[in-house]
Amino acid sequence: MRINVTRSSMPNFEEYIEEIRDLWDSRWLTNMGDKHQELQHSLERFLDVPHVVLYTNGHLALENAVAAMNLPEGGEVITTPFTFVSTTHAISRNGLVPVFCDINDRDYTIDADKIESLITEKTAAIVPVHVYGNVCDVEKIAEIAARYHLKVVYDAAHAFAVRYKGISTANFGDMSMFSFHATKVFHTIEGGAVCFKDDAVVQEMNDRKNFGIRNAEECVYIGGNAKMNEFQAAMGICNLRHLETEIGKRKDVWTHYHARLDGVPGIIMPKPQKDTTPNYAYFPVIFDGFKKSRDEIAAQLAEEGIFARKYFYPLTNDYACYREFPTAGKEKTPVAAHIADRVLTLPMYADLSADDIDRICDLVLR
């Protein structure tokens, strides 16, 4: 039986049908209808944040968040190459220059100790990434940003429902973006959100996702179409009801993997972060000095119908479209390069059975 690296959690079929039933009466299918508004307010309560603006996907959410910072054309933005390429694209597509900072070897987030050395007179912002549910050094990043008057937009795609010292990750930086892609802990089929505290930005964020249109006669931004539709929102409403159970099941999977692989020479698994409530989004394993390479293990698992993922690989600063940038090239970020060449995220989802976990671990260890 094929085992994918992830499998989307879904509510009971009848529950979802009941949730969308009234759409056949209203025929209001998009443009921030009742489902959209219900999900928005539910997420504001769940995430303990004043404002949530919903988007049709996480990439457009991040791109709009960066745009809302009103950074100078050609300004530099310090970020990490150990991320999905969407992060880097969201910076570049706003006419900004990504500057790649290395990661640390503990939790694979941006190395906050290396940020300051990359700041120049052109630096305008920092876009750090919470990785695998691990939270960046938010305190040091906030201190650096305040000292140099920089904006901070977090790519929190992996960190939904994660708390650091009891604070939701939605509250860090000027804005935080979440992805609600089908593969995430919480999803709306496709979708995303931007979270923030500044009341003055709400109107702009809603304008930008609707072509820049303010009302029937005003268009105040050169915006695009990034609105979440009602069917997506309905899926989110259903999934939010079951999120606690979802995360509990993922914890069981995470614990089972750890019991089987902990202490094996050449296998490195990140330790739980101090003061952090995790979401068990991924199960990354670093094969460093193991009897087989990461690529060999991935290939052998695939032969058995088990599809793990080299995530994140390649680094975004090693893609052809970014090689012209001054800090491009994986040799400029050696820690990130080392991890990217050795990391494999094993299958991880709520309904992954104990037997399947054992089968995966047996194959790896064999």
pLDDT at 311: 97
In three-state secondary structure terms, 365 is: helix
Report the candidate in 348, 236, 233, 230 with the shortest Cα–Cα distance to residue 285. Answer: 348
pLDDT per position as a tens digit, 202-243: 999 999 999 999 999 999 999 999 999 999 999 999 999 999
Report the candidate in 98, 31, 94 with the shortest Cα–Cα distance to residue 64. Answer: 94
What residue segments make up the domains of the chain, in order of their start? Answer: 13-241, 243-365
pTM: 0.97
Mean local confidence (pLDDT), 232-260: 98
Q: What is the mean pLDDT of the chain?
A: 97
The helices-and-strands tally (H runs, E runs) of the chain is 12, 15
Mean local confidence (pLDDT), 271-289: 96
Measured between alpha carbons, how far is residue 38 from residues 55, 237, 245 in Å? 14, 8, 21
Task: Round to whole Å and give the CA distance between 53 and 34.
Answer: 14
State how beta strands 192-196 and 163-164 pair: unpaired
* CATH of region 13-241, choose from 1.10.10.10, 3.40.50.2000, 3.40.640.10, 3.30.70.920: 3.40.640.10
Q: Which CATH architecture has domain 243-365?
A: Alpha-Beta Complex (3.90)
- Residue 270 pLDDT class (50, 70, 90 cuts): confident
Mean local confidence (pLDDT), 259-267: 97
Mean local confidence (pLDDT), 192-198: 98
pLDDT of 325 > 90? The answer is no
